[in-house]
Amino acid sequence: MKRTPACLAGFVLSLLSAAVAAQDLARAERVFEQHCAVCHGADRGGYIAPALNRDDTKLTHAQVMGKITGGAPPTLMPAHPSWGRTALSAADRELLATLITTQSATTPTWGIEDVRRSLQVLVADEAKLPAAPQFRIDHLDDLMAVMSRGRMAAGPEAKVLFFDGRTHRKVGAVATGHAPHLMDFHPTEPRWAYVRDDMGWVHKIDLYSMRSTRKVRAGLNGTSLAVSRDGRFVAAGSYVPHTMVILDAATLEPVRLFELAGADLDGKMVQSDAGMIMATPFANVFVVALEQSGQVWIVDLDKPDMPVAKIAGVGRHLHDGFLSPDGRLLVVASYDDHLNAVVDLAEARIVRKIPAGCKPHLGSGAVIRSKGRLLGIGTNIGEDDCKSFEVTVFDMDSFEVVKRIPVIGPTESPAAHPDAPYVIVDIVGKGPNAAKLQFIDKETLEVVRTIEVAGTLGHSHFPEYTARGDYFYVSARYRGDRSTGAPGGQLAIFDSRTLRQVKSIPVDVPAGVFSRVRARSVVVGLQNTDR
C-alpha cells in the first residue's frame, strides 16, 4: 500500500516513540525533570518558558538539539556548556530531544499524601533558633527580599537575597535549590516568611537566622502563595496539577487539598490554575482566582471543614488582583475580556466590571490618593495583540474610569508608596523598551520620566519601594549569552524623589522584589508604616 506523507510521518513518529522506549523513557523523563521542568513545566506543557512536547512545539529534533547546545538568546535559556556540574552527556541530550519531539504532554498527579511525604524538617528544634535578628537592622520592616533565579533556575545561585532597605547592605541569603518566585510574610510573628519556588516547594524561612527550617512540595509548579490573617495557615496553588493545598503554617503539614475546577462563562467544566491566592484582614479567609474557569473562591478558615463560597462568571482568564483599603473588595484582572472585576467578599458577589484596556495585569496592585480621591492603578500586559499600551486609572469608590495614561509598552507590576511622588510601571515587552521604567506623577496622572535601567539587552521589572518610601529597588536582568558565569543582572536602587540611581548590586538573574512591610499592608501604596 502506498503511504501518504501523513501516514509516513505517523509511521516515522511511531518508530521514534519506540526508540524512546528502547532508550529508557523513564530516564528521559528524569533528565527533563532535573534540567527542564523548572522553566518548561512538569507536564512539558509550558510554564515561564514555552511548552516542550510533540503537540505544542514546532521545533525539529535538530532544532531542539541546537537550543540545548547553544542556548536561546535573547531569552534566559543558556547554552549547555554553561550548565557546569549538571552538564549532560551527548547521549542524554539526544534522548531529551527525542522525548520533546515525539511525546505528548503528560498529566502528572500530586495528591495530599505526596505533599505529606515530601515534607523535610531542616531544623529539628526551632525553639533553639536565636531570639532576635543576627544582623544589624533598625526595624525588620526595612528588610527587602530579592528573588535570585540563577543561570539555570536551579543550583547554588537560586536563592533569596535579603537587604537592609535603609543602608542597602546585604544582610543574608537563603538557598532554595530552585528558582524562588513568590514570597509572603507571617502577619503576627515577624521572624517567619514563606517562599514558593518554581518546582512547587514551599520554604519556611526564619528571618532572624536566615535559615530555611522546613520545606514541602505543595505541587509540581505554580506561583501563588499566601499566609492567612491569623497566621495559622499557608495556601499554595499549583498549575500542575490543578490544585490548592492548605498547609499548617508552623509545621508545613498539609491540612486540606482542593481540586480547582469549575464551570467557565460558557458553562463548560474546566480545570483551573490558581492564578492568585490572597488573605484579607476583612475576614479569616483565602481568596482564590481560578484562571481558566473564571471563578473566585472564598475559603472560610474558621470552620473545621473549610467551606468554599464560589462566585462564577467573574471573567475570562483571571489572574492577579488587589484589595480595597478595608479588605472587603477584591479587584481582579480578567485577561481575555479586557476588564477588571470587583468582587464583594462579604456578600460573595460581583459588584462591578471595569473596562481595563488590553489584557489587564494588576500585579500586587497600587492604590493612591490624588487630589482627594482614592484611585486604583491598572496595568496591561498584552503585547502582540494590543494596538496601544496604557495604564487605566479608576476611582475606588465609584469604580468609574478616571483616565487612561499612554505608556511605551505592556506593563506588569505597578509600585506606589504614600510618601513617594510617583507610581512606577515596568515595561515587559520584547524590545529595548523592556529595559525602561516609566514614572507617573500622582497629582497630574501623567508620565513625567522614563529611565533606562538594564541596557538595551535587558529587562527591568518588579519595582518595589522600601518601607519608608525613600528608595525603590528594581530587578534588572540581562538577556543573551551568560556562558561566562558572570551574574546575569543587577539589583538597581534609586532615590524615590530624585530618581537618581544610588547603588547597583550584582545578582544572578534577579526577579521579584518584596518588602517586609507588606505584612502590615492592606493595599500596596497605602501602607501603614507607622513605628
pLDDT of residue 222: 87
Q: Is residue 460 part of a domain?
A: yes
Exposed e or buried b per residue across 163-183, where buried means at least 16 C-beta atoms within 10 angstroms of its C-beta: bbbbebebbbebbbbbbbbbb
Q: Which three cell numbers stand for residue 408?
A: 511605551
Q: Is residue 336 part of a domain?
A: yes
Query: Which is nearest to 425 in space by CA: 443, 441, 437, 416?
Result: 437
| H helix or E strand, kind and range, residue 66 | helix 61-70
52 and 156 share one domain: no
231 and 274 share one domain: yes
Tens digit of each residue's pLDDT (9 = 90 or more) over 145-183: 999 998 778 888 899 999 999 999 999 999 999 999 999
Exposed e or buried b per residue across 130-153, where buried means at least 16 C-beta atoms within 10 angstroms of its C-beta: eeebebebebbbbbbbbbbbbbbb
Tens digit of each residue's pLDDT (9 = 90 or more) over 328-345: 999 999 989 999 999 999
Q: Is residue 280 part of a domain?
A: yes
521 and 388 share one domain: yes
Could you tell me which residue, 21 or 291, shows the higher pLDDT?
291
> Integer distance in angstroms from the first to the last C-alpha of the chain?
83
Q: CB within 8 A of 397, min separation 6: which ones?
A: 373, 374
419 and 434 share one domain: yes
**What are the beta bridge partners of residue 377?**
393
Helix, strand, coil % over all residues of the chain, rounded to 5: 15, 40, 45
Q: Are 392 and 398 in contact (CB under 8 A)?
A: no
Distance CA 30, CA 36 (A): 10
Q: Residue 256, SS3?
A: strand
Q: Is residue 171 part of a domain?
A: no
What single letter denotes the amino acid at residue 116? Answer: R
335 and 477 share one domain: no
Tens digit of each residue's pLDDT (9 = 90 or more) over 434-461: 899 999 999 999 999 999 997 766 889 9
Q: Is residue 429 part of a domain?
A: yes
Query: Considering 327, 355, 383, which residue would you say is the last residue of a domain?
Result: 355
Q: Is residue 517 part of a domain?
A: yes
Specify the number of domains making up the chain.
3
Write the DSSP assignment of 353-377 as a string of letters.
EEE--SSEE-TT--EEEETTEEEEE
333 and 443 share one domain: no
Q: Are 61 and 13 in contact (CB under 8 A)?
A: no
pLDDT of residue 68: 83
Q: Are 395 and 354 in contact (CB under 8 A)?
A: no
pLDDT of residue 330: 95
- What is the CATH classification number for the domain harbouring 351? 2.140.10.20
132 and 70 share one domain: no
- What is the CATH classification number for the domain harbouring 27? 1.10.760.10
Q: Residue 33, SS3?
A: helix
290 and 333 share one domain: yes
3-state secondary structure 161-180: EEEECCCCCEEEEEECCECE
449 and 428 share one domain: yes
Distance CA 48, CA 83 (A): 19
256 and 341 share one domain: yes
Tens digit of each residue's pLDDT (9 = 90 or more) over 180-214: 999 999 999 999 999 999 999 999 999 999 999 99
Distance CA 415, CA 461 (A): 10
pLDDT of residue 458: 82
User: Mean pLDDT, the chain, as a whole number?
Assistant: 88
pLDDT of residue 82: 56
On the question of pLDDT at 17 being above 70, the answer is: no
Q: How many CA atoms lie within 13 A of 171 on its CB side?
A: 23
Q: What domain range includes position 417?
A: 141-165+360-531
Report the percentage of the chain scoring pLDDT > 70: 90
Q: Is residue 170 part of a domain?
A: no
225 and 348 share one domain: yes
On the question of pLDDT at 22 being above 70, the answer is: no
347 and 384 share one domain: no
Could you tell me which residue, 82 or 469, shows the higher pLDDT?
469
On the question of pLDDT at 223 being above 90, the answer is: no
Q: Most confidently modeled of 52-56, 92-96, 210-214, 489-493?
A: 210-214
Query: Which is nearest to 103 in space by CA: 64, 49, 148, 156?
Result: 64
pLDDT of residue 83: 56
Query: Which is nearest to 247 in space by CA: 206, 196, 283?
Result: 196
Q: Is residue 412 part of a domain?
A: yes
Query: Considering 306, 326, 355, which residue would you say is the last residue of a domain?
Result: 355
Distance CA 289, CA 276 (A): 5
Other beta carbons less than 10 A from residue 316's beta carbon: 18
Distance CA 237, CA 273 (A): 7
**What are the beta bridge partners of residue 460?**
476
